[in-house]
Structure formats: C-alpha cells, structure tokens
Amino acid sequence: MSAGRIDIERLHIRLGQGAQAFEAVRDVDLGIAPGEFVCLLGPSGCGKSTLLGALAGHLSPAQGRIRIDGQPVSGPAPSRGLVFQHHTLLPWQRVIDNVGFGLKMRGVPKAERDAQAQALLASVGLSGFEDRYPSELSGGMQQRVEIARVLINQPRVLLMDEPFGALDALTRVKMQQLLLQVWERIRTTVVFVTHDIDEALFLGDRIVVMSARPGRIIDQMVLPFGRPREAALVTDPAFIALKRRCLDLLHGAEPLPRLSPLGTPAAAAAAWRFAL
C-alpha cells in the first residue's frame, strides 16, 4: 500500500447552521507528496482541524475539491486513518480487540486479527497490555493504542488532530519520538494538526501555517532538518530561527474555541443521527 498523494484545490468549508454559520476554511490550495510528513500549524479554532475533518471525509466542503491519489473524497474510509486529540477507543473492548477492529470490519478471522494487533502493539511498546480495557491505561498509552488501531488498516494517509495535545510535556516528547520511529518504518503520508510550534518543527518535513478564522494558508516552510531526529534538535540555531518566524506569523492571533474534525459541537450533534 504505497502512494498517498493529497491534492486540495480551492477548498472552502462552512460550518454551523443558519445565523451561526461561518466560514472555517477559505480558499485552501495544497498538494502533499506521498510519504510526506506535513504539519498544519495555526492558532486554536483557525480551521486546521476542520480541514483535517474534510480530508477524513467527515465534513463536506462548500466549494473546491479534495483528491487522494486522484480519487475524490466521499465519506470516511479506512485508507485515511484519523487520530483524535482524545482517544476514541471502544471502552467495552479490550486493547487487542480495539486494535483489531479495522480488520474485523473487513471480515478477517479472529486469530489473524490478534496476530497482527499483537505485532502492532509491540511496535508501539505495549506488549503485555493486550487484555486491558482502555480505561485501565494512561493517556499516553491510550493514544498509542489509538495509533496502532489506525495503522492496522495500512492507511495511505494518516490524519492526526493534535494527538498529543492532552498529554503532559514529558509524555508528549516521548510520543513524538515514537511516532517518528513508527513512521520511518511505514512511510505513509501524515497530516499532523497542532498549535505547538516546537512539535510542528520537530516532526514535519514541511510546515503549513494557517491564519486565524477563516483559515487560509499564510506561509509554508520546508524544514531542512535530517532524519532520524534527535531531541537536541530543538536547541539548534536553524530550529530557533524557524521557530521565531512561526511565532511572528502567529503573533496577535486571538485563539478561538477549538473546532473538531467533526465540525462545531452543536451543529454536528444535530446532524450525526442521520449519518447511519
């Protein structure tokens, strides 16, 4: 399962109903190469998660189009894995069954599901936790299971919505390193949403900076850092220079309430019951 090219053309996304409707994403043009690690950086509520939701197929654009390997996006699909800020593991399933969920949906027999899930759990350092329930794990472990669960589908595109935003600083750094280790083996295309400048600079091949609402692309920078990346990178002069540039770009942006890849909390709550 290679490829994973993303083409976004003149994309506009509107959220909300009636008088509360607003434009969350305005006129975004973006091409992402197969296997590229792109970080979407912008102030809170700027529409970067909205853009991610459209890539995942949970939100439909008002104008413009999104194609993955030439195919237009119409609804969610296992080839586009989505990781939320807070885990969405099924509380009633043990870790191993959560990880094997995607295979179950494809009708893979239990023994094979378990074997693959076990291998993936080992690769995120969670061997021995197969029989736990999600609520028995720490926040960092839950996110690792969440990532393993998405990777079992061998997605062409991995969409991550501030996946480490709710973790403490130390765990966050560990998770960033783990993600890079895993990604260097599978080399899928990654779109990683964050408002943390250090995180974006540490992880990405390229950073796409978005403005405050309505979200537009205001700058892009290709990061010159080699891989594998070491923790010491954050004190590198080139790193600090780029960080300053990002800070200047984001300076003065008023953070707005966070949006999610599923839209605004109220509008999506009204709409989802028809989604089945």
Partner 1 sequence: MTEAIIVLSNAPAEHDSAAVQRPDTSFRWVAGALSLLACVLLWHGLSTAHVRTPWITFANVPPPLAVAQAGLELLGSPKLLNHVLWSWWRIAAGFIAAALVGVGTGLLIGRFGWAERMLLPPVEVLRPVPAVAWIPLAILMFPSSEVSMVFVTFTGAVFPILLNTIHGVEGVDRRLVASAQSLGARGWAVFSQVILPSAAPSIATGLAIGMGTCWFCLVSAEMISGQYGIGYFTWESYTLQDYPGVVVGMLWIGLFGMGSSALIRLMARRLMPWQAVTRGAR
Q: Which spans of this chain sit near partner 1 (rule: CB under 8 A)?
A: 56-58, 75-78, 80-82, 84, 86, 88, 90-93, 101-102, 105-106, 133, 135-136, 149-150, 153, 260-262, 268-269, 272-276
What CA–CA distance (Å, rounded) separates 62 from 239? 37
The whole-angstrom separation of Cα 223 and Cα 207 is 7
Q: How far is the CB of 120 from partner 1 (least distance, A)?
A: 13
Burial (CB count <10 Å: 0-12, 13-18, 19+), residue 251: exposed
Cβ count near 5 (within 10 Å) = 17
Closest CB 177 distance from partner 1, rounded Å:
25
162: alpha, beta or left, given left = phi > 0 and alpha = psi -120 to 50? left
Q: Which is nearer to partner 1, 4 or 81 (CB)?
A: 81
Q: Which is nearer to partner 1, 132 or 243 (CB)?
A: 132
Shortest Å distance, C-beta 145 to partner 1: 12
Q: Report the nearest approach of partner 1 to the CB of residue 176 (Å).
A: 22
Distance (Å, whole) CA 58 – CA 19: 22
Nearer to partner 1 (CB atom), residue 31 or residue 91: 91
> Do the beta carbons of residue 50 and residue 64 sit within 8 Å?
no
Phi, psi of 136 (to 5 degrees): -90, 0
Decide whether 2 or 135 has the Cβ nearer to partner 1: 135
Least CB distance to partner 1 at residue 273 (A): 6
In terms of CB distance, is 76 or 125 closer to partner 1? 76
